[in-house]
Chains A and B, each alone.
Chain A
Amino acid sequence: MTIDFSKYPDEHGHFGPYGGVFAPETLMAALEQLKNEYKLVKNDPAFLKELAEDLQNYVGRPTPLYYAKRWSEHLGGGKIYLKREDLNHTGAHKVNNTIGQALLAKRLGKKRIIAETGAGQHGVASATVAARLGLECVVYMGADDVIRQAPNVARMRMLGATVVPVESGTKTLKDALNEAMRDWVTNVDDTFYIIGTVAGPHPYPAMVRDFQAIIGRETKQQALQHENKLPDVLIACVGGGSNAIGLFHEFLKDDSVEMYGVEPAGLGLDTGQHAAPLCKGKPGVFHGNRTYLMQDKNGQILGTHSISAGLDYPGVGPEHAWLKDIGRVNYVAVDDEEALQGFRDLTRFEGIIPALESSHALAYATKLAPTLSKDTMIVVNLSGRGDKDMNTIAQIEGIEF
């Protein structure tokens, strides 16, 4: 392949036909300002130094690349390594991005940050950086997610954030994003919107990717240390797709590395009750960018279903849409049941309780690993830990608190 991946997106945020800036007029100036400011800082040594120090001393990076020996041997096939993003401060990869965007907010002199959240991990990561910088923080969260991710709601409130349950539409992540947009349109002068994934209008998909790309850069070095080679296979779950892009991006140019993005098949890809736009959707425009969407024939956005709130979203980052079309990344899906089994397996074989989002990537590894030779190196992005999912799991497993 001769694509120079570092040249994407173009100046206007396009990844081939995807991405772009499809935003209400009131936000256009703010997006332009953000684009210009980000262009300034992304090669600014002082900014990058501050970011690197925060990631090391506050977040706890680098995160380990851990060989899951017992689980790999049980599956009998490739060697599975876990990139331990669950060990980051606040428990997921989300903080890599909020640290970066919060530094930008500070530079732009914004006093207030807003965020949308599904599982609550991005909300917690936003509330955390807001507390640290002394900024006001408002987090929008679908009313259904407020219930199923209660522990994270409590954490956000303890950190001083205002959590606003969103009662409109399907009461999940997409509706939280709508409401955050409405807030931003209203308070654009003093407010910085920290989008949590690689979607939204340009420059968000590129900027969030760049902040998350440290996952892949570390993985590359660590793979060389462990196995003296590049990984053969990368696996990550895809909702909006930030942890997946974070792992994949560094390796896009390495043709030998195979990549799998795992979407949530919910109750099954043929039931309509899923959140897998890359596997089952078609392109459209939503939340500021052109990408694959779950939509009906009239262009209305469909409700989604996934056991994991963080993947319960009808769209996906535009770079993934493009990587699908050019065939660089394989997009597959696993259902709720398979994800739950992935959750149980990692917990029992390795003593690591994963997030339900990450469990989708683990579930795909359980399918793929046995088909591969013993010297195949597989890296699964363990994007978050499962503390927040205790209510959901306990209910399913009949465990009482």
Chain B
Amino acid sequence: MSRLHTKLAALKAAGKTALIPYITAGDPSPKATVALMHLLVEKGADVIELGVPFSDPMADGPVIQKAVERALIHNVSLDDVLEYVRVFREQDTETPVVLMGYLNPIEAQGYEAFANAASSVGVDAVLTVDMPPEESKGYLEALQQASLDRIFLVSPTTPDNRLSAVNEKGSGFVYYVSLKGVTGSKELDVEDVARNMKRLQQSLSMPMGIGFGIKDGATAFEMAKIGDAVIVGSALVKLIEANQSKGSYDIHLAIGNKMTEFRTALDKADALKGQE
């Protein structure tokens, strides 16, 4: 059993929704990342999604694009990201870490070399935005060999006939992209998400995380009612941008408060679910 699988199963058994915050590694600077990861855990993160900077983040909105640009000023590479995870693991061996990014930095390392390196520093899972199941043969084999979970995205436009591939090839959880758009965009249509989730849950046998466009506690509350995990990214990254000139104390304060808002909303939703 992987650390991710164990964690999500334990939460499910306890009737809890997982909170999965995203930050871009190296944003606003390389030395900030490990401390931010610990802060996220302290404020209620169950799993951490760590973004690997890529020069051309074509599925991301302006907030995460700018975060990536801030990281790339410092030339933060995939190797650097793995180093942050290694240092994080010196103090935290419990919280699963998912790397999220684009394929080319992994291609440049080679699938096997990357998978072994990631596994050895304590990465638990990998989500690659531009790697659909159809192209993933060698990539999957390498991740599987290194005991890393393989997370795939499913979107409102994913037809039923593609879900079996996700079921077969994915592991850990399925990331449901809650809207047609880039990260951090427009308002979520709660009813639309609920309708789609119902359809997907019939075919998918893994926990379902919901992400993209979850801006505040109120939206997180609604999503916690229908998913197993809630993923928040741009709402946090925006606070790094807003406070970067003030320094790490202010960044931590702002992120801590926002995390508390999300955690409280999820706990409230879980309590309601418990009463049903």
- The answer to whether A298 and B180 touch (CB under 8 A), given A22-B135, A287-B58, is no
**A178 to B107, Cβ gap below 8 A?**
no
Q: Does B220 contact A (CB under 8 A)?
A: no
Partner of A12, one of B62, B79, B134, B159: B134
CB distance from B149 to the nearest CB of A (A): 17
- The answer to whether A301 and B104 touch (CB under 8 A), given A24-B58, A181-B58, A182-B59, is yes
**A300 to B154, Cβ gap below 8 A?**
no
**B130 to A20, Cβ gap below 8 A?**
no
Partner of B106, one of A175, A177, A290, A299: A299
**Tally of A-B Cβ pairs under 8 angstroms:** 114
Chain B hits for A301, CB < 8 A: 55-56, 104
**B104 to A299, Cβ gap below 8 A?**
yes
Chain B hits for A181, CB < 8 A: 58-59
**A168 to B157, Cβ gap below 8 A?**
no
**B131 to A30, Cβ gap below 8 A?**
no
Q: Does A21 contact B (CB under 8 A)?
A: yes
Interface of chain A, main secondary structure: mixed
Q: Does A288 contact B (CB under 8 A)?
A: yes
CA distance A29 to B157 in the complex (A): 6
Chain B hits for A297, CB < 8 A: 108
When C-beta atoms are compared, the residue in chain B nearest to A177 turns out to be: B58
CB distance from A16 to the nearest CB of B (A): 14
Q: Does A164 contact B (CB under 8 A)?
A: no
Chain A hits for B155, CB < 8 A: 24-26
CA distance A24 to B103 in the complex (A): 11
CA distance A182 to B57 in the complex (A): 10
**A22 to B131, Cβ gap below 8 A?**
yes
Which residues 149-194 of A sit at the B interface, judged by CB distance below 8 A? 168-169, 174-175, 177-178, 181-182, 185-189
Q: Does A272 contact B (CB under 8 A)?
A: no
Q: Does A393 contact B (CB under 8 A)?
A: no
CA distance A287 to B129 in the complex (A): 12
Which residues 139-189 of B sit at the A interface, judged by CB distance below 8 A? 152-159, 162, 177, 180-182, 185
Partner of A300, one of B54, B103, B131, B185: B54
Chain A hits for B104, CB < 8 A: 284-286, 293, 295, 299-301
When C-beta atoms are compared, the residue in chain A nearest to B182 turns out to be: A182
Chain B hits for A182, CB < 8 A: 58-59, 61, 182
Interface centre among A28, A188, A301 (most CB of B within 10 A): A28
CB distance from A111 to the nearest CB of B (A): 16
**B56 to A174, Cβ gap below 8 A?**
yes
- The answer to whether A29 and B58 touch (CB under 8 A), given A284-B104, A299-B105, is no
Q: Mark interface residues in A19-42 (1 if CB within 8 Å of B CB, else 0).
A: 011111111111010000000000
**A288 to B59, Cβ gap below 8 A?**
no
CA distance A20 to B103 in the complex (A): 13
Partner of B78, one of A26, A286, A295, A298: A298
**A285 to B55, Cβ gap below 8 A?**
no
Interface of chain B, main secondary structure: loop
When C-beta atoms are compared, the residue in chain A nearest to B175 turns out to be: A25
CA distance A24 to B135 in the complex (A): 12
Interface centre among B62, B105, B159 (most CB of A within 10 A): B105
- The answer to whether A25 and B56 touch (CB under 8 A), given A286-B104, A298-B77, A299-B106, is no
**A299 to B109, Cβ gap below 8 A?**
yes
CA distance A314 to B105 in the complex (A): 15
CA distance A284 to B131 in the complex (A): 13
CB distance from A250 to the nearest CB of B (A): 30
CA distance A365 to B230 in the complex (A): 59
Interface centre among B58, B62, B108, B155 (most CB of A within 10 A): B58
When C-beta atoms are compared, the residue in chain A nearest to B153 turns out to be: A25
Partner of B65, one of A22, A168, A287: A168
- The answer to whether A26 and B130 touch (CB under 8 A), given A284-B108, A298-B108, is no
CA distance A290 to B104 in the complex (A): 9
Q: Does B72 contact A (CB under 8 A)?
A: yes
Q: Does B15 contact A (CB under 8 A)?
A: no
CA distance A187 to B185 in the complex (A): 12
CB distance from B81 to the nearest CB of A (A): 10
Given contacts A25-B152, A285-B130, A301-B104, 13 further A-B contacts (CB under 8 A): A21-B134, A26-B177, A26-B180, A27-B157, A28-B157, A30-B157, A174-B56, A185-B182, A186-B181, A286-B104, A297-B108, A299-B54, A300-B55
Residues of B near any A CB (own CB < 8 A): 54-59, 61-62, 65, 69, 72, 75, 77-79, 103-109, 129-132, 134-135, 152-159, 162, 177, 180-182, 185
Residues of A near any B CB (own CB < 8 A): 12, 20-30, 32, 168-169, 174-175, 177-178, 181-182, 185-189, 283-288, 290, 293, 295, 297-301
Counting from the closest, the 6 A-B pairs by CB-CB distance are: A299-B108, A299-B105, A298-B77, A25-B153, A26-B155, A186-B181
20 contacts across the A-B interface (CB closer than 8 A):
A20-B135, A21-B132, A22-B131, A23-B130, A23-B132, A27-B157, A29-B157, A182-B58, A185-B180, A187-B180, A286-B104, A295-B104, A298-B105, A298-B108, A299-B104, A299-B106, A299-B109, A300-B54, A300-B77, A300-B104
